[in-house]
Amino acid sequence: MSNSPDATTAVSITTNTHETTSATQVNKWNKHDTHWVLSLFGTAVGAGILFLPINIGIGGFWPLLIMVLLAFPMTFLAHRGLARFVLSSKRDNADFTDVVEEHFGKTAGRLISLLYFFSIFPILLIYGVGLTNTVDSFLVNQLALDTPPRVVLSGILVAFMIGLMLGGDKLLMRAFAALVYPLVAILFFLSVYLIPHWQVPTISTPEMPELVSTLWLLVPIVVFSFSHAAAISSFVNVQRRHYRTHAHSKTEQILKCTSVILIVFVLLFVISCVLALTPEQMASAKQANVSVLSYLANVYQNPFIALLGPLVAFIAITSSFLGHFLGARESFNGLVTKQFSLSITKADKLGIILMFIAIWLCAVINPSILDMMGAISGPIIAMILFIMPTVAVFKIPALSQYKTQIGTYFVLIVGLLSVSALLYNM
């Protein structure tokens, strides 16, 4: 991204977009592909990873095992469906807002685009608050410094993150690499570090109604813990310009690699944490509303784990913020340029200013409505990531070839379960 984006690069990370890519080049894994795996991985892994083991582990052994088996198809098939939807446009440079308007008409298209924006934007507000609280706590508790003025600290942190977005493609990719590699290393280290503390889980046969109910309520937790939907539209547009006629196969290849890495490293961390604690301890951690690392540090009286907690949270929040800002920026620009006939440059500058002010104010105020905001954005994400692309398969001729695939119906069922469980929890 640059300060003066044109119509095709305003909200996308572009790399060698005018190269003609041969089939041989497509089959080879390259630096461009690795960068996008890091970007999508960073978008998916937010601070929620510190609470994911508690949310999954509290249900016991069988729900954990079933969710481990379902995590990959739930993650990969859903994001592949959304990517196929964006690729179904007849326009080479169409973003998400263009595609929904093309297929569902102006009114419905703009409504869906507006919902898409409001599914992402609350997450940015949450991350603004979360990052400020994490850094403030680290300065006070680990470094023994005085609490800095919140208005100054939050302003610097939000400006820093948005500045990375405005620093250009290379800076953003370097930022993702600098954040994601340490995140993967720390997750793996903690997973292995906890192995000596593993306990044999209680493997009792659960009552079927209780198991079904537990799994139903766990579906949205797993779905959104691995969601990188906010970056899919920008990601697809870059692959379409970079790989041209091979965009479909290359997009699927990168998404599959991202999903595998997500499942391996995140679930290894989740399983290791769950086996290191009993279901009763998980329930206690949930009641105390603390992250799994904080609880583990208290249980085992380990200051080393307590020190890694804020570090993991900082890296995860920052990397996920960048990916979600990418999606929010793109959807805002698409909405404003269509509704008010502004140029992409003016819309982009306006969006950056408004989002900076909103995130900064929210971080300063430190509201207590974050769970409600997450609950509001959750069902919308489920509808856009799971249900809408599936509906499009039966409406759009370009996607009709996927009608008979089992994966299409699997994604629809997961989406309906996610929305119903989220609404039930509300």
- pLDDT tens-digit map of 331-372: 999 889 888 878 989 999 999 999 999 999 999 988 765 565
CA nearest 386: which of 406, 413, 404? Answer: 413
| pLDDT (mean) for 373-389 | 80
What are the structure tokens assigned to 377, written together? 């954005």
DSSP 172-229: HHHHHHHHHHHHHHHHHHHHHHTGGG-------PPPHHHHHHHHHHHHHHHHHHS--G
DSSP 318-380: HHHHHHHHHHHHHHHHHHHHHHH---HHHHHHHHHHHHHHHHHHHHHH--S-HHHHHHHHHHH
Q: Which of 205-214, 250-259, 392-401 has the lowest mean pLDDT?
A: 205-214
Q: What sign has the CA pseudo-torsion 42, 48, 49, 50? A: positive
Query: Are 359 and 16 a contacting pair, CB within 8 Å?
Result: no
At 22 the pLDDT is 53
At 26 the pLDDT is 65
CA distances to 168, 173, 234 from 37, in Å? 18, 11, 13
Over the range 370-385, which residues count as b (16 or more CB within 10 Å of their CB) and which as e?
beebbbebbbbbbbbb
Rounded distance, CA 210 to CA 59, Å?
10
At 256 the pLDDT is 96
At residue 389 the predicted structure's pLDDT band, cuts being 50, 70 and 90, is: very high
Helix count (H) and strand count (E) of the chain?
Answer: 18, 0
What are the structure tokens assigned to 387, written together? 């249900």
At 296 the pLDDT is 85
Average pLDDT, the chain: 85
Judging by beta carbons within 10 Å of its beta carbon (0-12, 13-18, 19+), is residue 98 exposed, middle or buried? buried
At residue 374 the predicted structure's pLDDT band, cuts being 50, 70 and 90, is: low
All structural domains of the chain, each given as residue ranges with its CATH number in brackets, are 23-425 (1.20.1740.10)
pLDDT at 199 > cutoff 50: yes
At residue 159 the predicted structure's pLDDT band, cuts being 50, 70 and 90, is: very high
At residue 23 the predicted structure's pLDDT band, cuts being 50, 70 and 90, is: low
At 17 the pLDDT is 41
State the pTM of this model.
Answer: 0.85
Rounded distance, CA 236 to CA 243, Å?
10
Q: What sign has the CA pseudo-torsion 194, 199, 200, 205? A: negative
Q: Which of 46-55, 240-249, 254-263, 358-367 has the lowest mean pLDDT?
A: 46-55
| pLDDT (mean) for 36-51 | 86
What are the structure tokens assigned to 139, written together? 């300065």
What are the structure tokens assigned to 260, written together? 């595998």
At 6 the pLDDT is 41
